[in-house]
Amino acid sequence: MNPSTSSSRSAGDMPAPRSAWRQELGTYLGLLVVLAAMMALFGSLSEYFLTRETLLSIANEIPALAVMAVGMTFVLIIAGIDLSVGSVLALSAAISAAAVLQWHFNPWGAAALGLLVGLACGAATGGIAVAWQLPSFIVSLGMLEAVRGAAYLVTDSRTQYVGDAMGALAAPWVGGLSAAFFIALLVVALGQLVLSRTVFGRYVVGIGTNEEAMRLAGVDPRPIRIAVFALTGLLAGLGGLMQSARLEAADPNAGLGMELQVIAAVVIGGTSLMGGRGSVVNTFFGVLIIAVLEAGLAQIGASEPSKRIITGAVIVVAVIVDTVRQRRTG
């Protein structure tokens, strides 16, 4: 049984292991069927979709979205939300670019600085929300604007071209797949391991399920909440490095609206917006579904407004499915 789908409910409310296993397997299979159906659909509509070039392009474009979605999975499981991840991505990339171009850091030092900036932004969001008991929605919305402004200041509102300073992340590694893709897979695997096999993961699920019960059990939710937001900021920073490596540039407008893509991928993967349930592996399937949907719509010539309408409809359907599933199992 995957603890990410369990909670701190009483034993009488806990689903039987066999039932929970079947439910989890059903979720995996359902996501795989949706993904396969989408690929078959777009493959029939475009002769170029099911080609090695297209599939490699999709795989090499998803690492930033994938690692950010891992962090967002943890945030949603604790019944929070972080709207600032797109801005944090932009600022982390901008700081790394400035470190290379202006401050003459070596690439490793610049990358470390970008990650630290992401970590600090996430910790600030979590810390403010916890210290003043504010909704994370409001705090992260303010952070979204503040961090985006900082990205404009650092870059002087211009795209900073870094060349191949971070090129190792985007360089083809195995079979045309970038190093960033394999790093994203590693982050997904580690995220699932932490969520399902560690005390920290159990606390995360417990807080999202019943925070008061965790307090009564002697667990202080505050540092765990801050740690979750810090992790999300760190992974957004990693996403910024991945994106700037792929584009060979740090754009202060990078990541605009990306927080919606991230949340969409997590929700499509079955993580509950109400907290207490989620799976990092399922989130990765959600990332693949979003990526295939966007690539397929682009190949068949869908307009930008059409793509937004369809993506929005997919998100709404995913939320409806999640709500129905909770009512049936709750």
pLDDT digits (tens, 9 = 90+) for 215-257: 999 999 999 999 999 999 999 999 999 999 999 999 999 999 9
Residue 22 lies in a domain: no
Q: What CATH number corresponds to the domain at position 90?
A: 1.10.3470
Q: What is the pLDDT of residue 328?
A: 72
Q: In the predicted model, is pLDDT for residue 266 greater than 90?
A: yes
Structural domain boundaries, residue 86: 45-329
Residues 6+ positions from 212 with CB-CB distance below 8 Å: none
**DSSP string covering 96-163:** HHHHHHTS---HHHHHHHHHHHHHHHHHHHHHHHHHTT--HHHHHHHHHHHHHHHHHHHHTTS-EE-T
Q: What is the pLDDT of residue 140?
A: 98
| Cα separation, 61 vs 73, whole angstroms | 20
Q: What is the pLDDT of residue 330?
A: 58
Q: Model confidence over 155-214: pLDDT tens digits? A: 999 999 998 888 888 888 889 999 999 999 999 999 999 999 999 999 999 999 999 999
Residue 17 lies in a domain: no
Lowest mean pLDDT among 19-28, 94-103, 124-133, 174-183: 19-28
Residue 15 lies in a domain: no
Q: What is the pLDDT of residue 43?
A: 96
| Cα separation, 196 vs 202, whole angstroms | 7
| Confidence (pTM) | 0.91
Residue 142 lies in a domain: yes
Total tally of structural domains belonging to the chain: 1
Q: What is the pLDDT of residue 171?
A: 87
| Cα separation, 221 vs 185, whole angstroms | 29
Lowest mean pLDDT among 3-7, 83-87, 154-158: 3-7
Q: In the predicted model, is pLDDT for residue 6 greater than 50?
A: no
Residue 247 lies in a domain: yes
Q: In the predicted model, is pLDDT for residue 91 greater than 60?
A: yes
Residue 208 lies in a domain: yes
| Cα separation, 201 vs 70, whole angstroms | 13
Q: What is the pLDDT of residue 7?
A: 39
Q: Percent of the chain, pLDDT > 90? A: 75
- On average, the pLDDT of the chain sits at 90
Residue 205 lies in a domain: yes
Q: Model confidence over 272-321: pLDDT tens digits? A: 888 998 999 999 999 999 999 999 999 999 888 888 888 888 878 877 87
Q: Do residues 182 and 173 lie in contact, with contact meaning Cβ atoms separated by under 8 Å? A: yes
Q: Do residues 35 and 50 lie in contact, with contact meaning Cβ atoms separated by under 8 Å? A: no
Residue 10 lies in a domain: no
